[in-house]
Amino acid sequence: DAYVALQTWKRHAIFSDPRNLTADWAGPDVCNYTGVFCAPLPSDPRVLAVAGVDLNHGDIAGYLPPELGLLADLALLHLNSNRFCGMLPGTLRRLGLLHELDLSNNRFVGPFPEVVLDMPALRFLDLRFNEFEGAVPSRLFDRPLDAIFLNHNRFRFEIPDNIGNSPVSVLVLSHNTFGGCLPASLANMSGTLNEILLINNGLESCLPPEIGRLRELTVLDVSHNQL
């Protein structure tokens, strides 16, 4: 399945690979492909499975094909600083072990990719510097994520009251359009939140005094708003 997924990606969904990162993606031994990392299966340590794909800073142009959902053992998918475009395929919800998803600095478009909300193991989500737009679903903040980066997109919504349910330590929402004000429920994040960046978000009115309860907070940046 990993061979099918990676070969389909290379042959049909990658249009330009100026650094030739996928030049050696040939043959059945996918563990020797550049940017592909394998690890023993927990259920059978004698068997190696694709546990990570890291094509960061590859300047690769293309899109993510549905066949990537065949990488059932994938824990890390790092694709930052490329030219991947289009929308995320719904088949990515099959990645039940995916722990880190970094799609930053690409050309992805469309609404918030709700497929990421169906990844049970996801803890690190980085969608910054893309062209996503529209609302961010409130249930994002009910997910057990450690870090959320959504900055520099075209999201437009008001920060929901349930943001306080999120256990994140780092939350970066800068350079989107939110409006409204910060919910008092932020105080519920007092045990986990270390950094929150809300630069240039169109926030209005005052900051809730509950921010003073964020005992773990080291970085708070709400500059370039209408507070």
Same domain, 120 and 139: no
Which strands form 147-149's sheet, in the order they lie side by side?
36-41, 44-54, 76-78, 100-102, 124-126, 147-149, 170-172, 195-197, 219-221
Q: What is the mean pLDDT of the chain?
A: 95
| Contact in structure between 46 and 40 (CB atoms under 8 Å) | yes
Same domain, 120 and 178: no
Q: How sure is the predictor about 42, in pLDDT bands with cuts at 50, 70 and 90? A: confident
Same domain, 54 and 105: yes
- Per-residue model confidence as pLDDT tens digits over 57-97: 999 999 999 999 999 999 999 999 999 999 999 999 999 99
- Per-residue model confidence as pLDDT tens digits over 101-132: 999 999 999 999 999 999 999 999 999 999 99
Does 139 score more than 90 pLDDT?
A: yes
Query: How many domains, the chain?
Result: 2
Q: What is the DSSP string of 110-169?
A: EE--GGGGG-TT--EEE--SSEEEEPPPGGGGGS--SEEE--SSEEB-PPPGGGGG---S
Mean of pLDDT values over 21-36? 97
Task: State the residue range of the domain holding 61.
Answer: 1-124
Asked if residue 110 is part of any domain, the answer here is yes
Same domain, 12 and 85: yes
**What separation, in Å, do the N-terminal and C-terminal C-alpha atoms of the chain show?**
52
Same domain, 76 and 139: no
- Per-residue model confidence as pLDDT tens digits over 150-207: 999 999 988 999 999 999 999 999 999 987 788 999 999 999 999 999 999 988 877 8
User: Can you give the CATH number for the domain in which 14 is found?
Assistant: 3.80.10.10
Same domain, 116 and 144: no
Question: Three-state DSSP class for 51?
Answer: strand
Domain-ending residue, one of 124, 156, 172: 124
> How many residues appear in the chain?
227
Domain-ending residue, one of 97, 124, 151: 124
Q: What is the pTM of this model?
A: 0.95
H or E element in which residue 3 lies: helix 2-8
Same domain, 200 and 106: no
